[in-house]
Chains A and B, each alone.
Chain A
């Protein structure tokens, strides 16, 4: 059965993010609580995702390298999008990602009072309650690796070619890994040629645990409802949407299960593709599309 390989430091996997940084990414995104550019929403979602991944893989002795991560921007140029100490690096072990954010912003987390049910014993009352509250209300530092950028065209084909090279090289060294996942976030059509053939090349790469996964998300400024994880292309509005659909892998069963937990009912054959995504569907796309099992 595919997509069941255990992920460990001895057998890590990788995520490759492709981020459209073309000029149109400076347009506002639909569905945001406060007005926001598409580039801002994506930067926030990617930084939030990386931060959460580091927290989940953190142990007393540091962040464990269950994952290696690449963030590739494509706009005026195609290349690694990390800033600061990681600038110029393509695929980076998660421990190094954690060690070198571009900057840390200090924020106060949600107060513990709002997270505690009335009448709960133990930490909710007495000295231990105060202690827990003191711990939970300590300011936390929020990392930023990736800044919003919106300039230039949409060289999606070159970005996919970059991802293909990274993943092929990775598989040569890690042939038994959980299949790498490539997530492409864009708001427009490719300006450097048809991306479908290279997308197909990516999907033909395999580890012993199954084919590489390629998922696509299309951002929109309009208010029409997102089409999330469709199983068929006839429901899609135009050729561009159908093209991205055809470039997207089917979601493995465990990702569909994760989607069900989030209240989505996905049909058999649902693709890792969201069309007309708003701000919240970017976060959901990353959540579902990076879901893995058996992290050890």
Chain B
């Protein structure tokens, strides 16, 4: 199967690219092909330390690692994370920025992020149809679109269901199981999948309920490229239609 992926992102107002805490994979836009394609998007939690890096590790481990079940992906990421964390204090010492008291407790508590992973699988040879599956922890959303219609919204399908404390993947296994949700369906050639972090996803679902076609507006904004997309997001924020948070849209068109 073939698909074209394009990703656009923007940090919250007043923050630079280094402070952007969403993460997505693959990082490079363009066409992909293969019997199985994976895409992922994660949103690092504001209140935890190194959460942007944790989000990045999660999406890379899902897309680039062996095709494991999500539990294996998350535990594998935790293994890597904790090994890296052992040397982190020394790295900071070497960089002349020793760890401060307020970081010690944050590091011990772990990093946190939402996670959304999407897999598209080929159908039979020559078929125009295949299967998709998705796993999610938290409020990073997947929208499945076909011929201008919204077929599926996962894991949240109502704007009112977003909260300030969504389930998160912790870098520390603290005994509580990951609150993973799963969904699956079929794709047809020409379908589009949009992955969005919470501010954009909420705007999207509010628009859908109001009877607008937010997917058309979003598709135009995405197609216009990074600068017009940023301008479009700024406008939504200034009109208070969209929360001022990191925004990421990953669009996958099935070719």
Interface residues of A (CB under 8 A from B): 6, 8-10, 51, 54-56, 58-63, 98, 101, 104, 109, 115-117, 120-124, 128, 131-132, 134-136, 138, 140-143, 293-296
Contact = CB atoms under 8 A, between A and B. Distances in A.
Contact of A140 (B49, B75, B108): B108
Contacts of B108: 109, 135-136, 138, 140
B82 A132 contact: yes
Contacts of A58: 49, 100, 102-103, 106
Nearest to A59: B49
B13 A10 contact: yes
Contacts, number: 98
Given A116-B174, A293-B164, A54 B13 contact: no
B93 interface: no
Nearest to A66: B46
Interface in B200-247: 243-245
B14 A10 contact: yes
Contacts of B14: 8-10
Contacts of A293: 164
Contacts of B28: none
A135 B106 CA distance: 11
Interface residues of B, number: 34
A122 B75 contact: yes
B47 interface: yes
Interface of B: 12-14, 18-19, 46-47, 49-50, 75, 78-79, 82-83, 85-86, 100-108, 164, 172-176, 243-245
A254 B63 CA distance: 38
A92 B10 CA distance: 30
A123 B12 contact: no
Given A61-B19, A296-B244, A120 B175 contact: yes
B86 A115 contact: no
Nearest to A110: B108
A135 B86 contact: yes
Contacts of A294: 164, 243
Given A55-B105, A136-B108, A295-B47, A121 B100 contact: no
Contacts of A296: 12, 46, 243-245
B244 A120 contact: no
9 contacts: A9-B14, A54-B102, A61-B18, A120-B174, A123-B172, A128-B79, A131-B85, A136-B172, A294-B164
A60 B101 contact: no
B101 A101 contact: yes
Contact of A116 (B78, B164, B175): B175
